[in-house]
Structure 1
């Protein structure tokens, strides 16, 4: 078995222990996707599948049989067979036997035998766990397997009586990051922070946004990251007021800010950092005031991240600071609102801050896990627990509008860090990326 894969085996055991005794779970990895003609998009495994297996080859399925009546749980992998001719063209394949040994499965079989073997694996099983509705292809396969089992009914064979959605259990498992996962997330965060620093040092008025994107991608790959965790946002000037802008083709002008939202993926785990800074290395007074407001909002959000406190507390804390700042800076007009609480009650702040202050982070950049306790009355925001990973990303986006001071028009600012909830508060993973006005100006001045 490959050294370092014990945590995957432990996760499979934890999942099996939460399943109905004697039941079976089925989980397929992601399919390859054609880009055009005979070219595929770069392959990326399914996050759930990788979480349980560590196996990255396409055309793979995990079958997990829960323990029952003294029989231990079993993990079975179906994967591609060895094929020397295809390996010449497409690269190495483990094959079933090598995969079984290297990844700690109890059994492994060729993927071509999946349909034939599933009829036996599902015979007399009380329940089936799989990703209901996640894949039309898998739904069709499951229907075929159940039909084959039911066809044996006259001989006394029974099909699973119930079906459970597998992701509900896995989402809760993935929400709490163990030490191994936290280490990978820290590595992804460190590489991503270095990329942001590289972009700051490289920036000059007149450059295209895509030139800074190239600096980011260079630093990601140079340090061993396999992919960007998502399409980078390099938004200069008014583009920063478009939350999901990613065209990245505009020329950056002297005196403008550029907002970069970019993070890498390292060994299956994502980082997510946003920094906003002046293309020429010097903030204007209006830019400085807004950046410092967003930084204050972020500090308030950090302080609200405490075990036992609701997830929503950080958003509430950030919004209160932002709302007061909008009043103080005159963004909301004069005399219309008497307090930050009044601004929030009328949702007037949403003109300039319309998104949440964070999201779960992990194998997916917007990672899995419920944000509310759906079992409690009113479905309140769920309490934070040590090991949860999330982003903290307040912002302010000022589009031209009547009554809004023109000095703030077309300024979009977001500052985003990644944190792990600890026993007493939170640990920031992305602190190596400068975000304060003075430290950014010093870094960019020294790079010129």
Structure 2
């Protein structure tokens, strides 16, 4: 892996916390993600299953974690199964983890090769009553490709139909929502790399630059700082493209007098950063652009102060909507009388700010968690208000990553330029 070694105590503690949530006599099984095909014999870059990584730190394909806390044999309470390598694999693919290396990474003492999995599972299933199986239960997930976990679920239920089956996802959603100190440090590293990329862009952007050239500069800075690359598809949206929320074509020219909205974030050790900045292509905001920018910034600052323990997403978004509504009135985009008479279920501000303000962040950019769970210390949220005025060709979004603490919100991107004056100063030739 490109990233520096991560302490295995992170994964040891994560497994301990997970094990405490299991019913007596339970086995839990987690599989690595598949290597996904493209065409012919091509494949996509491997991305580990977030739950498996969270529990083991293993970043290798065809890996399986089996947990059986109540096993009478202490050596069989935590087992990792790995793909066994050989000279052919070494020649064509490179080195794979040895058992000793996997034990050092994960803190798991019992390591078997993958071809022993079914035999070991069969022995342990005779001693177990409950089986926890893993699924992707993110509320926005659209899963059309069958995963290794999904294939195992079908096989396991067919082979062992009389066991009691349980869901791992609710437990994982609960645990992963709260970040440990070790996780926060990894996320700070991802944010720092992202900040370096943004500073690089401030000296690069000028009229005539192509959106994809900006994206290339981001990749360069990510890769040279031990990031595997972007945590998600980068949005580089100049001019009216900024009014397309998920614009990723990144193929237009950045023109004099326009703004360019950039939504990107580095991945480090599988943890994501998620930044958005909007800057003037020529280095100087017009009067109208500055008005809109400052409005978004005021909404952002007000919203961040609401990311405190005990608050909830519903309360939070209601508050942000009211602040945004007032800003849009001041910008002349909404009429105060119309706002007083609006349908509360269809607030008028949604015409110019149609997305949510925050989502959980962690191993996944849109990280798992319960949207109805009150904010707690250790949660990390994005804060990303925006104003999109299609008729004026102006789109402004600003985004930072915020850690909820008992002492108030902690901005993990506080060192990344944000104020309009600072942006203009740093963009001067």
Q: Same fold (TM over 0.5)?
A: yes
Task: Say which of 266, 271, 277 aligns to 1:275.
Answer: 277
Check conservation: 2:33, 2:148, Cα contact below 8 A. no
Q: Secondary structure at the match of 2:427?
A: helix
TM superposition shift of 1:320:
1.4
Q: How does 1:331-342 map to 2 (within 5 A)?
A: 331-333=333-335, 335-338=337-340
Check conservation: 1:305, 1:384, Cα contact below 8 A. yes
Q: Which residue of 2 aligns with 1:425?
A: 408
Check conservation: 2:75, 2:109, Cα contact below 8 A. no
Q: Which residue of 1 aligns with 2:106?
A: 103
TM superposition shift of 1:399:
1.4
Q: Secondary structure at the match of 2:193?
A: helix
Distance in structure 2 (CA, Å) of the matches to 1:246 and 1:347: 28
Q: How does 1:389-408 map to 2 (within 5 A)?
A: 389-400=380-391
TM superposition shift of 1:229:
0.4
Q: Which residue of 2 aligns with 1:175?
A: 177
Q: Residue 169 and residue 346 in structure 1: after superposition, are their counterparts in 2 closer, same or farther (change >3 A)? A: closer
Q: Which residue of 1 aligns with 2:26?
A: 23
Q: Secondary structure at the match of 2:279?
A: strand
TM superposition shift of 1:359:
0.2
Check conservation: 1:297, 1:319, Cα contact below 8 A. no
Q: Residue 308 and residue 90 in structure 1: after superposition, are their counterparts in 2 closer, same or farther (change >3 A)? A: same
Q: Residue 106 and residue 419 in structure 1: after superposition, are their counterparts in 2 closer, same or farther (change >3 A)? A: same
Q: Residue 264 and residue 133 in structure 1: after superposition, are their counterparts in 2 closer, same or farther (change >3 A)? A: closer
TM superposition shift of 1:95:
3.6
Q: Which residue of 2 aligns with 1:363?
A: 363
Q: Which residue of 1 aligns with 2:155?
A: 144
Q: Which residue of 2 aligns with 1:6?
A: 9
Q: Secondary structure at the match of 1:223?
A: coil
TM superposition shift of 1:319:
1.7
Q: How does 1:234-383 map to 2 (within 5 A)?
A: 234-333=236-335, 335-338=337-340, 346-372=346-372, 382-383=373-374
Q: Which residue of 1 aligns with 2:82?
A: 79
**Structure 1 residue 54 and structure 2 residue 57: aligned?**
yes
Q: Which residue of 1 aligns with 2:96?
A: 93
**Structure 1 residue 125 and structure 2 residue 128: aligned?**
yes
TM superposition shift of 1:335:
4.3
CA deviation string 1:260-302 (max 9, x = no partner): 0000001111000000010000000110000000011011101
Q: Secondary structure at the match of 1:337?
A: helix
Pair member with larger Rg: 1
Q: Residue 231 and residue 189 in structure 1: after superposition, are their counterparts in 2 closer, same or farther (change >3 A)? A: same
Distance in structure 2 (CA, Å) of the matches to 1:190 and 1:291: 23
Distance in structure 2 (CA, Å) of the matches to 1:313 and 1:275: 26
**Structure 1 residue 112 and structure 2 residue 103: aligned?**
no
Check conservation: 2:30, 2:149, Cα contact below 8 A. no
Q: Which residue of 2 aligns with 1:214?
A: 216
CA deviation string 1:67-107 (max 9, x = no partner): 26796871111111121221121111124454245532242
CA deviation string 1:287-323 (max 9, x = no partner): 0000000011011101112211223333233221211
Distance in structure 1 (CA, Å) of the matches to 2:136 and 2:201: 41
Q: Secondary structure at the match of 1:275?
A: strand
TM superposition shift of 1:346:
4.5
**Structure 1 residue 36 and structure 2 residue 39: aligned?**
yes
Distance in structure 2 (CA, Å) of the matches to 1:82 and 1:247: 40
Distance in structure 2 (CA, Å) of the matches to 1:295 and 1:198: 22
Q: How many residues of Structure 1 are paired with residues of Structure 2 in the alignment?
A: 417
Q: Secondary structure at the match of 1:412?
A: strand
**Pairwise CA RMSD:** 2.1
Check conservation: 2:385, 2:398, Cα contact below 8 A. yes
Check conservation: 1:305, 1:313, Cα contact below 8 A. no
Any stretches of 5+ residues in structure 2 without a counterpart?
Answer: 138-145
Distance in structure 1 (CA, Å) of the matches to 2:15 and 2:345: 47
Distance in structure 2 (CA, Å) of the matches to 1:115 and 1:4: 30
Distance in structure 2 (CA, Å) of the matches to 1:3 and 1:190: 17
Q: Secondary structure at the match of 1:39?
A: coil
Q: Which moved more, 1:190-199 or 1:240-249?
A: 190-199
Distance in structure 2 (CA, Å) of the matches to 1:132 and 1:274: 31
TM superposition shift of 1:221:
1.0
Check conservation: 1:16, 1:67, Cα contact below 8 A. no
CA deviation string 1:11-39 (max 9, x = no partner): 11221121112210000010111223222
TM superposition shift of 1:360:
0.1
TM superposition shift of 1:205:
0.4
Q: Secondary structure at the match of 1:391?
A: strand
Q: Which residue of 2 aligns with 1:386?
A: 377
Q: Residue 334 and residue 425 in structure 1: after superposition, are their counterparts in 2 closer, same or farther (change >3 A)? A: closer
TM superposition shift of 1:65:
0.3
The normalised TM-score by structure 1 is 0.88
